[in-house]
A and B are shown apart, each in its own frame.
Chain A
Amino acid sequence: MGNILFEQTTLKFPGMPRPAVNQVTCEVASGELVVILGPSGCGKTTLLKMVNRLYEPTSGRISIDGQDIKRLKPTALRQQIGYVIQQSGLFPHMTVAENVGVVPKLLKWPKARIQARVEALLDLVKLPPAEYCDRYPAQLSGGQQQRVGIARALAGDPDYMLMDEPFGAIDAITRSALQGEILRLQQQLQKTILFVSHDVDEALRLGDRIIVMNAGRIVQFDTPFNLLTQPASPFVHELLGADDMVRQLGLLPVNAAMMQLPDHYQNGNKPVVNAVDNLRDALSLILKTGAPELSVVKDGEPVGLLTLEHIRNCAVEANR
């Protein structure tokens, strides 16, 4: 496992007035999912593509796990970095199994190992191998294609993943489901992930931290919560819609706002929320059910109570 380190990384395309990526210095920690967020043309994709050397920086350095990537052979470097792109980029002439097996084949794994790996990965992304192995990409829905794209990127068991707006061309419902899958996979696999997005809600939901870029520079690099509550500039404030209180509530867990269970507590028939759910879900439950308070549970045991007032206090506290 390792980190990704950018040092004064700059890339200026010939004939362009300003560098696409300008003096970027930052570190993505091992096992962290970092979203690069920004408007189109801000250099987020360019920054991503320098990591697997699809672009070469004009100056500065990028290293993974302490090793300067310039010293590695591009093909060898790329084989140890999973890569997922927007239009899935699946090979139309290969079956699902063959697509997923490409990197293992490049790494010269024995056939039996490749087959076992392909089946395990298809299970992981919830496409039953028996049903999907022999299908062609054209026979899959957009969401299924992107699941195969993710499985394919994971095939060589890379420590790093680069994801270039992987869900940009997918309908809202499927996108939300796939974001959930990414969170689930990341909990399980703990890869170091760089994820490009222009969707604020996606960035807030997925990112452990978010790099906000504008005009080739990093404007702010922080956790979703800090970006919303302490935006470094009016640009960040506006880009993230930091005034949107409901958006903030989506980042606060219920157990940050709830009140401890009173001594002689009797759980009437109160609606129940989980302690790790966010306050946005809790708020909508209160509004939907009309209940004055919610019972907070952890591992099935009641641990606290939550009222509208608790939520409001918590939101006020966060913006102080």
Chain B
Amino acid sequence: MAYLVNNVGEVAALLWQHLQMTLTTLAIAVLIAIPIALLIMRFRWLSIPVMGLLGIFYTIPSLALIIFLVPVFGLNATSVIVAMVIYTQVILVRNLTVGLSGIDPAVLEAARGMGMSWWQRWWWVQVPLVLPVFIAGVRIAAIVAIAIATIGAKFNAGGLGKLLFDGIQTNRIDKIWAGSITVALLAFVINGSLLWIEQRSRPTAQKS
């Protein structure tokens, strides 16, 4: 704790790096997952090969995956972010497809029969209905990303992992404590706020 208090500036900088990596990952991952999920919804046969492939990626240990990527993207944050994007795809795509196929077909038929265009059906009906499930996916992906970003320090990507690895190397328990407490807090806060948004986005949440 003493380290945390005495080096607020340094810890804050690392926390900021960590947060940046996580948010960049989530932004890119969501932008990739939405078109993939839409393709799977359109061409159902894609579901098994695509989900299978993403599932296989997910089973590769994160350290090994990042090492694979270093020759391509270099020893920096990019490799780590790419790895995290690959990891989170399976979570995001699965939640999106489950959420989208969970929408009552009668509701979609009504939307079409009433004369909504594709675009209106997407924004007025599908997005609001899939939002809670989707945000739940983002929440889980965020936690996974925060965890993997910790390893990023090994690959020169910075972040709170730096405190942990430094601490282990120099046998500084206080650094390790500072690092783990901050990572844990970050995970708690991100999880809590996304959970709050998720509950707010439930269709009938406003009523009670």
Contact = CB atoms under 8 A, between A and B. Distances in A.
Is the A/B pair a real complex?
yes
Interface of A: 52, 54, 74-79, 83, 85-93, 102-103, 106, 135-136, 138-139, 152-153, 162
A87 B203 contact: no
A54 B111 CA distance: 11
A93 B112 contact: no
A75 B115 contact: yes
B115 A92 contact: no
B19 interface: no
A211 B40 CA distance: 40
A91 B115 contact: no
A83 B129 CA distance: 21
21 contacts: A54-B113, A75-B117, A76-B115, A78-B112, A78-B114, A79-B114, A79-B115, A85-B110, A87-B104, A88-B110, A89-B113, A92-B203, A93-B128, A93-B203, A102-B124, A106-B120, A136-B203, A136-B207, A139-B207, A152-B114, A162-B113
A58 to B, nearest CB: 20
A83 B114 contact: yes
A89 B207 contact: no
A92 B129 contact: yes
Contacts of A78: 112-115
A88 B106 contact: yes
B113 A85 contact: yes
Given A85-B109, A86-B106, A89-B104, A103 B115 contact: yes
A52 B204 contact: no
Contact of A54 (B107, B112, B129): B112
A91 B107 contact: yes
Contacts of B129: 92-93
A282 B8 CA distance: 91
Contacts of A162: 113
B38 interface: no
Given A89-B104, A93-B129, A102-B114, A136 B109 contact: no
Nearest to A152: B114
Contacts of B56: none
Interface string B109-140: 11111111100100011001100000000000
Contacts of A79: 114-115
A138 B116 contact: no
Interface string B171-208: 00000000000000000000000000000000110010
A87 B114 contact: no
A87 B113 CA distance: 14
B109 A90 contact: no
B187 to A, nearest CB: 30
Which of the listed residues A74, A88, A102, A136 has the most CB atoms from chain B within 10 Å of its own CB?
A102
B112 to A, nearest CB: 6
Nearest to B125: A91
B115 A106 contact: yes
A85 B106 contact: yes
Contacts of B128: 93
Nearest to B127: A93
A85 B107 CA distance: 10
Contacts of B204: 92-93, 136, 138-139
B205 to A, nearest CB: 10
Interface in B126-164: 128-129
A152 B110 CA distance: 10
Contacts of B117: 75
Nearest to B132: A93
B107 A103 contact: no
A92 B205 CA distance: 12
Contacts of A76: 115
Nearest to A80: B115
Closest 8 CB pairs of A and B: A89-B110, A93-B203, A78-B115, A79-B115, A83-B113, A89-B106, A87-B106, A75-B115
B72 to A, nearest CB: 43
Interface in B90-114: 104, 106-107, 109-114
A5 to B, nearest CB: 20
Contacts of B106: 85-89
Contacts of B116: 75, 102, 106
Given A136-B203, A138-B204, A92 B107 contact: yes
A85 B108 CA distance: 11
Which of the listed residues B117, B120, B124 has the most CB atoms from chain A within 10 Å of its own CB?
B124
Contact of B110 (A74, A75, A90, A139): A90
